[in-house]
Amino acid sequence: MIDQKTIKRVASLSRIEVSNEDCERYTNELSQVLNHFDQIAQINTEGIEPLTTPVEKENLLREDVVKNEYKPEELLENAPDRMGHLFKVPPVI
């Protein structure tokens, strides 16, 4: 599958210098990864519906309902400084 020549070629294209020891190690590691992908590709998935998420739960979020529980004056009561109906804060730079 993957040989040292391929590793050297990819390293060259990536402008990465790879030692012979690293080249041998990468050859073994990438071969193992590709073998694993081959095993996954062999799995028969015929008749199995694709998943959009691994956890099949309904939406647990509540419905977004707008409530006008507070008046602007009530919200601004505790503000240290304000300008009209706005909070006034020091400049942040």
Give 28-86 pLDDT, tens digit per residue.
999 999 999 999 999 999 998 888 777 777 777 888 888 878 888 888 888 899 888 88
Contact (Cβ atoms closer than 8 angstroms) between residue 82 and residue 76: yes
| Residue entry with tokens 């998935």 | 45
> The CATH number of the domain where 17 resides is what?
1.10.20
Contact (Cβ atoms closer than 8 angstroms) between residue 82 and residue 72: no
What pTM does this model have? Answer: 0.50
Give me the number of domains the chain comprises: 1
> Domain range holding 19?
4-41
Tell whether 49 is covered by a domain: no
* Cβ contacts of 34 within 8 Å, gap of 6 or more: 1, 2
